[in-house]
Amino acid sequence: MKDLMKHQNRTGNHTFFFTAGRYDFRKYTYSISYKRGNITFIELVNSPNPSEPHCYRTNPYQHCTDLKIEKVTLEIIDKYKPDIVHIHDLRMHCARIIEIIRKMNIPIVKTIHNYWDLCPKTDLLYQNNHPCHDIRNGEACIKCLTMFSDSTIKSGLRLVGSFRNDFIMSSLNSISSLKNSISTPDNQSHSYPVKYSSSSYSARRKFFVEMLNKCDVIHVPSKSTANRLMEFKVESSKIKTIPISISSLDDIVPKKPKTPGQPINFGYRGALHIRKGIQVLLEAATKFSEQECQLLIFGNGNLSLLQPYIKKFKNIIYRGSYKQNDVNLVLSQIDVGIIPSICEETFGITGLECIKAKIPIIASDIGGFSEWLVPKRNGFLFKPGDVNDLVKCMRTFIEKPEMIQQMADTMNSWKSSEQHAQEIQDIYRSFM
């Protein structure tokens, strides 16, 4: 999001970033604003919709509509009068703001970064085990959400101002009349019990899909994400597939060739969470000796998943978390990257980082990974959750280490963040 905002500023446009995540002692919901450089930040303070890991405790109806959030959003739209609204993440906001903006005749672009719009757990992973396809009812939600726990995350939507100073703003509907048109059913609850009825989760999904279909463009990073949305009845005509890129990729340099005769360093970078498939990777690593390979793990999260393996197997090494500024140093230690996710990630930035560093990748054949990983060209795909299939891919590199450099030599680079920003700007221009 920051890359896109900076690009808008460089091209002479005004950008406002509306986010959430701050809480204070006040008992009401309000907004604050401040500037960082040329970007105006607006924060929704004391959102009734809490962030992870508490968002699943909220009434699913409240994910759809909340008067406090809608009132603040209306005030912000009225004050800044954006020509385009680009929504990135609705957590801590509510889905009905799409309808509110639509009534103002302001074009809406929605980027799908995760599956919050379909799943209150964000990942469409049933009980941390397999992809969820519960389209018709919410019974699976009831069974699944009690297991959910994750890290806190901020969410936001971005308001894109006028493209040029001489552009005429979109005419706004009367704020007062629009406020009066918003009603709240008598049974709305602001309490946070863990469980609700299956029908409430089914209704939540139906409402979110209805709101998505009110957007002008739904930007997805992969065809697999597009297919998932269409499975849940999002209109295909709204969806535009554009693979992503971010500025941190621009700073990654190719890794130096591997020293012959040394054990293969397989590397995992990311959250230590079951949905990331870390347990699958750990089991696979136990099938090899330290003379054959090492598994280097970078990241943070549930360290209890690692401890039994680290104590027992010398070839499994935990290197801790790292800052993005140190990504080249981390990548320099890895010969082959591994992404063992069992959930459907929309694309996979860590894989793109490996591609930029000329490091082959082994990834589970799920989500958007197969759209940038070409087997035998820049790595291998394996069946999600299948330890034996992952072991087979790892063994291929161990037995034929020359493949690492062969793949590196023929590996294509990735588009720059500037190219991606221009692709998104082309969408904006289509409304002008």
CA angle 194, 198, 199 (to 5 degrees): 125
Confidence check: pLDDT of 190 > 50: no
pLDDT-based confidence at residue 368 (cuts at 50, 70, 90): very high
* pLDDT band (50, 70, 90) for residue 77: very high
- Shared-domain flag, residues 319 and 344: yes
Nearest alpha carbon to residue 64 among 209, 194, 199: 209
Total number of domains in the chain: 2
The percentage of the chain sitting over the pLDDT mark of 90, rounded to a whole number, equals 69
pLDDT range class, residue 237, cuts 50, 70, 90:
very high
* Least reliable range by pLDDT among 164-168, 202-206, 246-250, 418-422: 164-168
Is 428 strand, coil or helix?
Answer: helix
Residue 350 placed within a domain: yes
| Same domain flag for 229 and 326 | no
How much of the chain, in percent, has pLDDT values that exceed 70?
87
Give the max Cα distance, the chain.
Answer: 74
Residue in 329, 273, 283 with CA at minimum distance from that of residue 121: 273
Residue 2, in any domain of the structure:
no
**Co-location of 202 and 253 in the same domain:** no
Taking alpha carbons only, the member of 96, 91, 21 closest to residue 58 is 91
Task: Identify whether 186 is part of a domain.
Answer: no
Measure the CA–CA gap between 180 and 61, rounded to whole angstroms: 20
Is pLDDT above 50 for 162? no
* Residue 227 shares a structural domain with residue 323: no
The pLDDT value recorded for residue 209 is: 97
Average pLDDT for the chain = 87
Residues 209, 322, single domain; the answer is no
Same domain, 313 and 358: yes
pLDDT for position 211: 98
Q: Is residue 290 included in any domain, yes or no?
A: yes
Residue 185's pLDDT is 36
Residues 263 and 214 both lie in one domain:
no
For the stretch 29-61, pLDDT in tens is 999 999 988 889 999 999 999 876 666 667 899
pLDDT value for 138: 85
Q: Are 306 and 212 in the same domain? A: no
CATH of residue 127: 3.40.50
- Report yes or no on 285 lying in a domain: yes
The β-bridge partners of 293 are 264
pTM: 0.86
50 token code pair:
């809490």
What six digits make up the tokens of 177?
A: 């009349």
Task: Let me know if residue 396 belongs to a domain.
Answer: yes
> Does 379 reside within a domain?
yes
Residue 7 has pLDDT above 90, yes or no: no
pLDDT score at 297: 98
Residue 82 in domain: yes
Packing angle of the helix pair 278-285, 387-399 (nearest 10 deg): 50
Are 275 and 406 part of one and the same domain? yes
How does pLDDT run across 404-416, given as a tens digit for each residue? 999 999 998 889 9
Domain final residue, candidates 179, 206, 235 = 235
More confident residue, 47 or 183: 47
Q: What stretch of H or E contains 179?
A: helix 175-181
Confidence band, pLDDT 50/70/90 cuts, at residue 175: very low
For position 276, which CATH number holds?
3.40.50.2000
Closest to 403 measured CA to CA, from 209, 257, 270, 202:
257
Query: Residues 113-153: pLDDT tens digits?
Result: 999 999 988 899 988 888 998 777 788 888 887 765 443 33
Residues 358 and 318 in one domain: yes
432: pLDDT confidence band, cut at 50, 70 and 90?
Answer: confident
Whole-angstrom Cα distance, residue 37 to residue 152? Answer: 26
Domain region containing 19: 15-149+197-235
If asked whether residues 331 and 253 sit together in one domain, one would say yes
pLDDT digits (tens, 9 = 90+) for 123-132: 999 888 889 9
**Domain shared by 218 and 324, yes or no:** no
Q: How many CB atoms lie within 10 A of CB 3?
A: 20
Instruction: Give the per-residue pLDDT at 157.
Output: 54
Instruction: State how far the alpha carbon of 125 is from the alpha carbons of 82, 268, 281, 363, in Å.
Output: 36, 21, 18, 17
φ/ψ bin of 26: left (φ > 0), alpha (ψ from -120 to 50), beta (otherwise): beta
